[in-house]
Structure 1
């Protein structure tokens, strides 16, 4: 047991009637990676948000290195020695890379009210280069970089000043393999310097591999802490949910014939720099898996099919020949799309659960041309509850939900719309084991009902476990195709990714 660095003592936090944290007390030591796990809505992110200044706790104290800390905001938290890398985008559009890295700390480059931009860019570039991210230009706007590179910039932003506590909140789910390796390097470096990394992840194998200690929260209550050596995935699952969860949540059927009926045909689709002359067909009642390494182009495929890519070339047509060239076209013809980037592309964050769920179904909900608030509320409530969304009610703002509950709202929206063709990009990103099982069961049910699903995923076991057919992409092209089989192995897919 190392020397105590941080004590969370009787931390309490309410959101309306929801008791998000109930007198939580946990000790974190110097020189350790300390994982914090639990189901969606268990209180993990709420606890670390209270520590880092994102939320204000209701009661309790944080003692860091013998002194009480209480951050008013994230910049204040940084000044007190705590930093956080969040799951969703944590950089601001419209600013340069350097401005994002030093956001709230620009004073060091300001004299007599004038900011020395060249000095700030130079210092930011030095930090980027020291992390091995020398291909990122500090002077460019943040919008010039993709989701993964922006996460790497956040890593620099959160750690260049060597905080005593670094919170990594579900960040690995937003990163591909290369990005994860870079993040783990930084986490180990921080630990070796005597800091503590609080690591939040739903990937239990990753938790066991990377962590020294593992603490469990359930429904806002601290359950206990075990060491890496004491941990197995089954034991962690049991601690998280309070009961045994088997590994049989994937499909168990093999050898089912895929229907000959084509519901959508993609021909010679290209998006410059991302997809190169891609052609595929999706059949009725089929789950088509698309996988590959993070930058292979697979995440752009979903957007291109749904009509959300501005620079798409080639054709996307339904089985009857109807072209799909825009999002309104897609929705009108019973298509749905859930993006990997929930906060920016799948949800209206600063709106209610009700408004989000009803959005694609507004025309369907009108009676005599009139849209009733009561009808909307009943509709949203039905499908939010069907997805077991943890909420105070459908009037709650989506921004107040955990990552997993946000994903449930995205799925509730399209279940409510009763779409026939569903494109799911990273459907279980940042989702706990119980909700994963619910989503897989829902997909299986939809498949049996004759609905067709394109599942884009970086998780190999998810592809093997759920897809009827798997396309592996590399450099914007399809590099391998596999039919569902008990004999199919992860190495078969990996060989076509690399």
Structure 2
């Protein structure tokens, strides 16, 4: 390791009045995992999106192996030896697994204008087997696979042609522990082959363990590049935020009693192939956590409670006896839900920040004549966007223009504004920087103190241990264990229930 693979020189990108990347210059070496970190909106994804042809460059240059490159799209980037695994879904619905893997490279399987589907499927099957993903079938429509499996397919898509640079943008936050280990394995393979990984993550222990070098951006500006072995988490935090972080992440109190009052009862809930006979109660002022491995069923819990699982059986009943069987009933009875699949299920990407924040609260924003007030909507959206510190031009900016972390802030802002009594949070800190994580945990503390009840679904074990009054572990669609909040609980206690 030592020879320069990529030089970034005076790179700039502006969106409206926002300087997303401002005169950034640094180098990345061959055969290294080079981490790129910073708070949400610091410019990490903008920089790599320019490198991979998703965004155009305003000014500056990328020099790859001594030659300037400026791909205009991802296909051109692939031809230059650059690929990316994005934070959200990077596969296209309606296409097969094989068609997604070879998207933009169909010419390999086309002769005289006719595509050889059998050959494409055969090559995709060989790749999936090589990667250890045999259970994924090349000829099946990709929509049959869940979020996690589609990310695994993206790993194949982004790396099978041995690119010189692979950008991994917040991908680990979308994966279970098993999926992460698969990704780490391929990162190591890429590195050993003399190629380079640009690794974006908010998980500082992960950054220090898996990267060789770390570059820090703040508000679009280059701050520093350091060796991972020469710095610790606290040092990285200081570089990222420019100051000491105050207070603790998690709740300090242990042994507090939860109120007996039940606000939601889930009875014998099943979803074919996903959940089997799940029952539990949620108490007033409680944070009830759900954890488990991939395919455990924990993510389906949130959908089932919110009335979004259309083939669900069993009962979800509020304290006033209302049966929740659909989303409008859930919202009308003060239940909020944020999905792990943010872009497809939690926000409307091609609508404004303001419209997204106001959407669940339109009833309370109506005037007495039943008309919506533009002033009331603007004031409401601005209030909650500010409360969540959304980095934006203004509330008229489209959500699709935001970084992943700022999209998550919009998701949370809309439900905080709704002031729901029961809030189901599926992976609420996915793709969120350390400062905003702290803010979200403080927000959750405030909610339960005011009598709200929270269901928190998370693959982060320390998050569950640190925040929840009670943790339910899922395995194979069933409840495999339950444990109350205690200072003695460790990750191994939970893992023993998962496997």
TM more than 0.5: yes
Give the structure 2 partner of residue 455 of structure 1: 456
Give the structure 2 partner of residue 291 of structure 1: 291
Q: TM-score, normalised by structure 1?
A: 0.99
Give the structure 2 partner of residue 482 of structure 1: 483
Q: TM-score, normalised by structure 2?
A: 0.99
Give the structure 1 partner of residue 119 of structure 2: 119
Give the structure 2 partner of residue 411 of structure 1: 412
Structure 1 distance, partners of 2:378, 2:57, is 31
**C-alpha displacement of 1:202:** 0.6
SS in 2 for 1:495: helix
Counterpart check, 1:276 vs 2:287: no
Give the structure 1 partner of residue 142 of structure 2: 142
Structure 1 distance, partners of 2:305, 2:331, is 12
SS in 2 for 1:464: helix
Runs (4+) off by over 6 Å: none
Give the structure 1 partner of residue 498 of structure 2: 497
Structure 2 distance, partners of 1:471, 1:181, is 24
Question: Structure 1: which 5+ residue stretches go unaligned?
Answer: none
**C-alpha displacement of 1:255:** 1.6
Structure 1 distance, partners of 2:103, 2:168, is 19
Structure 2 distance, partners of 1:131, 1:246, is 43
Deviation string, structure 1 residues 319-358 (Cα, Å, up to 9, x no partner): 1211111000000001100000000000001111011111
**C-alpha displacement of 1:363:** 1.6
SS in 2 for 1:471: strand
SS in 2 for 1:486: coil
Give the structure 1 partner of residue 390 of structure 2: 389
Give the structure 1 partner of residue 251 of structure 2: 251
Give the structure 1 partner of residue 445 of structure 2: 444
Give the structure 2 partner of residue 310 of structure 1: 310
Deviation string, structure 1 residues 348-373 (Cα, Å, up to 9, x no partner): 01111011111111121110111122
Structure 2 distance, partners of 1:10, 1:146, is 40
Counterpart check, 1:231 vs 2:219: no
**C-alpha displacement of 1:247:** 6.7
SS in 2 for 1:28: strand
Give the structure 2 partner of residue 331 of structure 1: 331
Structure 2 distance, partners of 1:192, 1:350, is 41
**C-alpha displacement of 1:294:** 2.3
Map 1:60-459 onto structure 2 (within 5 A).
Answer: 60-245=60-245, 248-367=248-367, 368-459=369-460
Structure 2 distance, partners of 1:246, 1:357, is 29
Structure 1 distance, partners of 2:120, 2:107, is 10
**C-alpha displacement of 1:374:** 2.4
Which deviates more, 373-382 or 428-437? 373-382
SS in 2 for 1:390: coil
Structure 1 distance, partners of 2:358, 2:157, is 37
Structure 2 distance, partners of 1:480, 1:119, is 47
SS in 1 for 2:423: strand
Deviation string, structure 1 residues 7-38 (Cα, Å, up to 9, x no partner): 01010000101110010011000000000011
SS in 2 for 1:198: strand
Structure 1 distance, partners of 2:147, 2:206, is 21
Structure 1 distance, partners of 2:481, 2:104, is 47
Structure 2 distance, partners of 1:491, 1:135, is 29
**C-alpha displacement of 1:246:** 5.2
Deviation string, structure 1 residues 147-183 (Cα, Å, up to 9, x no partner): 1110011111111111111000000000011111111
Which deviates more, 163-172 or 485-494? 485-494
Give the structure 1 partner of residue 3 of structure 2: 3
Structure 1 distance, partners of 2:286, 2:55, is 43
Structure 2 distance, partners of 1:49, 1:277, is 44
Deviation string, structure 1 residues 244-294 (Cα, Å, up to 9, x no partner): 225712111112110010000000000111111000000111110111112
Cα RMSD, aligned residues only: 0.9
Structure 1 distance, partners of 2:247, 2:233, is 10
SS in 1 for 2:438: helix
Deviation string, structure 1 residues 291-324 (Cα, Å, up to 9, x no partner): 1112210000000011000110100000121111
